[in-house]
Amino acid sequence: MKNADLLKIAKTYGNPVYVYDSEKIISQFNRLTNAFKGVKRLRLNYAAKALSNISILRLMNSLGSGLDTVSIQEVQLGLMAGFKPESIIYTPNGVSLEEIEEAAKLGVQINIDNLSVLEQFGSKHPDIPVCIRINPHVMAGGNSNISVGHIDSKFGISIHQIPHLLRIVELTQMNINGIHMHTGSDILDIDVFLYASEILFETAKNFKNLDFIDFGSGFKVPYKEGDIETNVEELGKKLTDRFNTFCKEYGKELTLAFEPGKFLVSEAGYFLAKVNVVKQTTSTVFASVDSGFNHLIRPMLYGANHTIENISNPQGRERYYSVVGYICETDTFGNNRRINEISEGDILCFKNAGAYCFTMASNYNSRFRPPEVLWHNGKAILIRERESFDDLVRNQVDVKDLFTTAKEEIAVK
Ligand SMILES: Cc1ncc(COP(=O)(O)O)c(C=O)c1O
């Protein structure tokens, strides 16, 4: 997107504001689809958690994507956005059997990641096909919080528990129609995917009625120009060959599924915030913006390095800044960043703000969550309004005379 378009959006809708470029989302979707064009049955299930605005879900649906969900609410959002139940996979972790049964009633593909629930669900609903999430014991991912396929992780059924799993399947007579893994996010090395895939193929041989194998996600995207990223084209070639060979051995054309979040929406997003204060201290120059980890927590949570540009003064002399927020705790977006000279009132643009930014936003410090704007066919479309004070207090029960009464009672005593 051009700086002028972003500045115009900030002027129209105020700041801070999130902006998403539909063209980038579409090109990423096509890029991944092309990388796996040698697979007869490919399915991309967009991971709703990355960015769950209904307009984004509708866009994904229009592209022919399926949907990967982790909560009953994400399932409901997907259905509301027009996804057919059979295009939705529900992969919860640590939720109640009741929630899984509710999702099953809605007709979505259930993916179970522990033996306790598998046994209970299989005993009660042997006719509902189930996918199982395997923990392949692979350490992968850009940060410990997003490495989820290793031996100490809470996710998935350990590959060492396959004998127990098979016993449950045999005794309950349930139908396992898919196997799944997701080892982490920000995985650069395609050998990690290929190695973990071998574990899935090995596991798959134990099940006779599979329809699909889901390889999860975790593709690393670039965070600045020239940055390293997962080579999805090379992965596409290698995994396609291996997958097609496996299908021949298995005796059935299976669906190869992925569930990308970041890959599809990260680079499409821009977060715009205004500089309130430029503060020279003895050690640095702080640029404080009208936002904080209430709107963009990834730098503080994962050490994510979002490129920050001053789009109000793109030709200005470059200087070093610490860009911080207005929250009552240390909320540093970036230290020692070389940015075109910043003045108070300038608009800073945080790149890669499409994935896990709005969806992780909160009302901390009683601030409003910002609006979301979709940039589509050269037009800005508001897809979420900025919150208001009414939104902040909507569910609070303001019991006005609660403490007046207490005061009176104390007075009487
Ligand atoms: C089960 C599952 N699938 C897919 C994803 C999406 O991962 P990414 O955003 O790295 O593509 C996640 C992310 O946490 C996940 O937990």
What is the per-residue pLDDT across 101-157, written as a single tens digit (0 to 9) for each? 999 999 999 999 999 999 999 999 999 999 999 998 876 666 566 566 677 778 889
CB-count burial class (<10 Å; 0-12, 13-18, 19+) for 109: buried
367's tokens: 């601030």
**Tens digit of each residue's pLDDT (9 = 90 or more) over 4-54:** 999 999 999 999 999 999 999 999 999 999 999 999 999 999 999 999 999
**Tens digit of each residue's pLDDT (9 = 90 or more) over 274-298:** 999 999 999 999 999 999 999 999 9
| pLDDT of 317 above 80 | yes
- Ligand 1, atom nearest to 91 Cα: 1
> Does residue 408 or residue 115 have the better pLDDT?
115
- Ligand 1, atom nearest to 218 Cα: 10
Output the pLDDT for position 188: 75
Ligand 1 pocket test, pick from 147, 217, 358 with the greatest ligand atom count within 8 Å of Cβ, gives 217
Cα(360) to ligand 1 centroid in Å equals 14
| pLDDT of 165 above 60 | yes
Output the pLDDT for position 175: 97
20's tokens: 């998403």
Residue pair 125/105 in contact (Cβ under 8 Å)? The answer is no
Cα(181) to ligand 1 centroid in Å equals 10
- Confirm whether residue 223 is marked as ligand binding: no
b/e per residue 14-27 (b: at least 16 CB within 10 A): ebbbbbbbbebbbe
Closest CA to 386 of 367, 360, 413: 367
Ligand 1 pocket test, pick from 32, 70, 134, 185 with the greatest ligand atom count within 8 Å of Cβ, gives 185
Active-site positions read 328
Cα 411 versus chain centre, distance = 55
Output the pLDDT for position 245: 97
Output the pLDDT for position 191: 87
Output the pLDDT for position 407: 66
Distance of alpha carbon 310 from alpha carbon 350, whole angstroms? 9
Distance of alpha carbon 401 from alpha carbon 10, whole angstroms? 43
Strands (E), 42-116: 42-47, 66-69, 88-90, 109-112
Q: Which residues contact 217 (CB under 8 A, 6 or more apart)?
A: 47, 182, 185, 258, 259, 260, 261, 262, 263
- Confirm whether residue 226 is marked as ligand binding: no
- Ligand 1, atom nearest to 356 Cα: 9
Cα(409) to ligand 1 centroid in Å equals 55
Residue pair 149/183 in contact (Cβ under 8 Å)? The answer is yes
Cα(13) to ligand 1 centroid in Å equals 31
User: Residues lining ligand 1, judged by CB closer than 6 Å?
Assistant: 47, 50, 68, 91, 182, 185, 216-219, 259-263, 355
Q: Which CATH fold would you assign to the domain 36-260?
A: TIM Barrel (3.20.20)
- Confirm whether residue 269 is marked as ligand binding: no
Ligand 1 pocket test, pick from 133, 182, 223 with the greatest ligand atom count within 8 Å of Cβ, gives 182
CA angle 53, 56, 61 (to 5 degrees): 125
> Does residue 369 or residue 195 have the better pLDDT?
369
Among protein residues, the one whose CA lies closest to atom 15 of ligand 1: 182
pTM score above 0.85: yes
- Confirm whether residue 218 is marked as ligand binding: yes
Among protein residues, the one whose CA lies closest to atom 1 of ligand 1: 182
Distance of alpha carbon 139 from alpha carbon 136, whole angstroms? 9
| pLDDT of 412 above 90 | no
| Integer-rounded Cα radius of gyration of the chain | 24
Distance of alpha carbon 231 from alpha carbon 149, whole angstroms? 21
Q: What percent of the chain has pLDDT over 70?
A: 95
Question: Which residues are 43's β-sheet partners?
Answer: 257
Output the pLDDT for position 33: 98
Percentages (nearest 5) of helix, strand, coil residues in the chain:
35, 25, 40
Among protein residues, the one whose CA lies closest to atom 13 of ligand 1: 185
- Confirm whether residue 320 is marked as ligand binding: no
Output the pLDDT for position 401: 86
Output the pLDDT for position 139: 61
Instruction: Label the pairing between strands 255-258 and 332-340.
Output: unpaired
Instruction: Delimit the CATH 2.40.37.10 region(s) of the chain.
Output: 269-393
CB-count burial class (<10 Å; 0-12, 13-18, 19+) for 260: buried
Residue pair 287/326 in contact (Cβ under 8 Å)? The answer is no
What are the φ/ψ torsions at residue 145 (nearest 5 degrees)?
-65, -25
Instruction: Delimit the CATH 3.20.20.10 region(s) of the chain.
Output: 36-260
- Ligand 1, atom nearest to 187 Cα: 10
- Ligand 1, atom nearest to 186 Cα: 10
**CATH top class, domain 269-393:** mainly beta
- Residues, the chain, total? 413
- What is the mean predicted confidence (pLDDT) over 397-404? 88
Cα(342) to ligand 1 centroid in Å equals 36
3-class DSSP assignment, residue 43: strand
